[in-house]
């Protein structure tokens, strides 16, 4: 389904102001293109850096597990490695909605910088753990510290851009996850050579160096991270009015989230469909973020070659995400791109289930690339599609915490998809991913049907067919 030309509800620069029932006019003395460029430079880079180091710190344990960490901490037996991955998600999921509410009260630049500084401090502690219990404790506090970063950042971004601008910005932020996956492998391959330096094992250097980087980014964010449009001191009053007019976010930012807001949100069936979509796409995302080095190592590589071969799948995923973001905004639709990602995941899993042995190495590696590409690209579109279908601070603070919180519960499933007893084929894990890809396909189609029905009703009621409504599809 294509999109018509954008029938803007605000006036172009230089024209007379226009108003309608949707809210105040776009100020005639503000250049929209220049304003978007200004927002891009002030909002996006710092958020990208914050989540780059956060996700890098979250999954760097996957690189450490291919070194001597399992033997040094006595976690090589049973499911101890998987439990260490699992414990992160308990506080991470529980505190996502409360974290969004707190961020709104204390301002994003304070909350997000505080979260990443705390994250870095805990990561430094993880570099010096001596036992399995110490690792479990640090992983728990890492989950607590990071619970406010991912949903909070998406919540913040959604107030700066209109729908036809959103996918490219959401994908830019999302690409920090993919970049962390690729960069983590390169960094780990270099740090692997530091084994024994100053009496520390190489895996400890991973946590130590990346923890310091997180603290430095957090301190920078305290001064450089942007708040909501109404709070941005670097915007003029006319520019603030322009952002509010074109994004249609007229709600007072000081309005609190009430029980009726919660009740209204959870009465909407789209809330559950959105959570299912994100839950089912995060399982392959987390499975390959954590276990790509393990799966690749099972193909016969040494430690350094394993880290290096974990880079190309994430690089390919980054390229596909950027391509999808461009065409999604250009064409004005979302769901076909999610379905395309699902198809790639299904093909990739089929390759991993049927191609084994050294003679099929290329096919297996292609399967790893397809699963990574399809899941990461589809996830970026899902988050944008869902959040841009929500309105106002209350709905988006609840919605981003709910959808991302439930979705991140997929991490609990993911950490048990690839266990030692299933190596090297991991058939059970791949069948779990196959089931999730099929459920994601079905839930995406149902969500699209529900949204399309609502949009048809709006068009019939209001007599409008502007691109902002079409982009809800």
Asked if residue 29 is part of any domain, the answer here is no
Could you tell me the pTM of the whole model? 0.74
Asked if residue 5 is part of any domain, the answer here is no
pLDDT class of 359 with cuts at 50, 70, 90: low
Asked if residue 111 is part of any domain, the answer here is yes
Asked if residue 16 is part of any domain, the answer here is no
Structural domain of residue 248, as residue ranges? 35-464
- The CATH number of residue 138's host domain is 1.20.1250.20
What's the pLDDT score for residue 284? Answer: 92
What's the pLDDT score for residue 250? Answer: 57
Asked if residue 2 is part of any domain, the answer here is no
Comparing 163 with 321, the larger pLDDT belongs to 321
Asked if residue 7 is part of any domain, the answer here is no
User: Which tens digits make up the pLDDT trace of 269-328?
Assistant: 999 999 999 999 999 998 887 777 777 777 777 767 777 787 888 889 989 999 999 898
Please provide the average confidence, as pLDDT, over all residues in the chain. Answer: 83
What's the pLDDT score for residue 137? Answer: 95
Q: Closest Cα to residue 228, out of 338, 107, 348, 314? A: 107
Q: What is the domain count for the chain?
A: 1
Asked if residue 143 is part of any domain, the answer here is yes
What's CA 231's distance to the chain center, in Å? 25
Asked if residue 91 is part of any domain, the answer here is yes
């Amino acid at each position: 389904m294509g999109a018509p030309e954008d029938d803007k509800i605000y006036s172009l620069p230089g024209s007379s102001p226009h108003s309608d029932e949707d809210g105040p006019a776009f100020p005639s003395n503000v250049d929209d293109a220049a304003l978007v460029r200004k927002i891009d430079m002030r909002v996006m880079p710092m958020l990208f850096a914050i989540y780059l180091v956060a996700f890098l710190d979250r999954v760097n344990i996957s690189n450490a597990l291919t070194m001597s960490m399992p033997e040094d901490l006595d976690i090589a037996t049973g499911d101890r490695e998987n439990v260490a991955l699992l414990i992160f998600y308990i506080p991470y999921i529980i505190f996502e909605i409360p974290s969004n509410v707190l961020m709104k009260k204390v301002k994003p630049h304070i909350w997000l910088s505080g979260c990443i500084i705390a994250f870095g401090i805990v990561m430094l502690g993880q570099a010096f753990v001596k036992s399995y219990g110490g690792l479990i404790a640090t992983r728990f506090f890492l989950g607590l510290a990071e619970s406010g970063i991912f949903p909070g950042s998406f919540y913040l971004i959604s107030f700066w851009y209109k729908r036809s601008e959103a996918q490219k910005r959401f994908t830019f932020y999302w690409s920090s996850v993919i970049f962390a996956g690729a960069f983590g492998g390169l960094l780990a391959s270099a740090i692997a050579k530091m084994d024994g330096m100053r009496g520390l094992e190489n895996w400890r250097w991973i946590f130590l160096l990346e923890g310091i980087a997180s603290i430095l980014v957090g301190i920078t964010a305290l001064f450089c991270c942007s708040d909501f449009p109404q709070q941005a001191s670097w915007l003029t009053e006319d520019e603030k009015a322009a952002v509010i007019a074109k994004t249609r976010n007229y709600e007072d930012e000081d309005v609190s989230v009430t029980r009726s807001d919660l009740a209204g949100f959870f009465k909407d069936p789209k809330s559950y469909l959105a959570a299912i979509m994100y839950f089912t796409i995060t399982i392959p995302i987390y499975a390959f973020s954590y276990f790509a080095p393990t799966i690749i190592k099972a193909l016969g590589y040494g430690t350094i070659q394993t880290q290096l071969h974990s880079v190309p799948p994430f690089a390919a995923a980054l390229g596909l995400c950027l391509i999808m973001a461009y065409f999604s905004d250009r064409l004005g639709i979302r769901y076909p791109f999610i379905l395309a990602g699902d198809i790639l995941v299904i093909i990739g899993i089929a390759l991993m289930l049927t191609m084994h042995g050294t003679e099929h190495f290329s096919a297996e590696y292609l399967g790893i690339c397809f699963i990574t590409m399809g899941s990461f690209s589809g996830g970026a579109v899902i988050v944008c599609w869902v959040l841009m279908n929500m309105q106002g601070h209350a709905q988006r603070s609840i919605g981003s915490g709910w959808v991302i919180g439930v979705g991140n519960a997929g991490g609990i499933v993911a950490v048990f998809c690839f266990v030692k007893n299933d190596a090297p084929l991991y058939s059970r894990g791949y069948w779990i991913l196959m089931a999730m890809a099929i459920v994601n396909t079905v839930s995406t189609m149902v969500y699209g049907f529900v949204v399309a029905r609502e949009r048809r009703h709006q068009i019939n009621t209001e007599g409008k067919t502007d691109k902002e409504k079409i982009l809800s599809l």
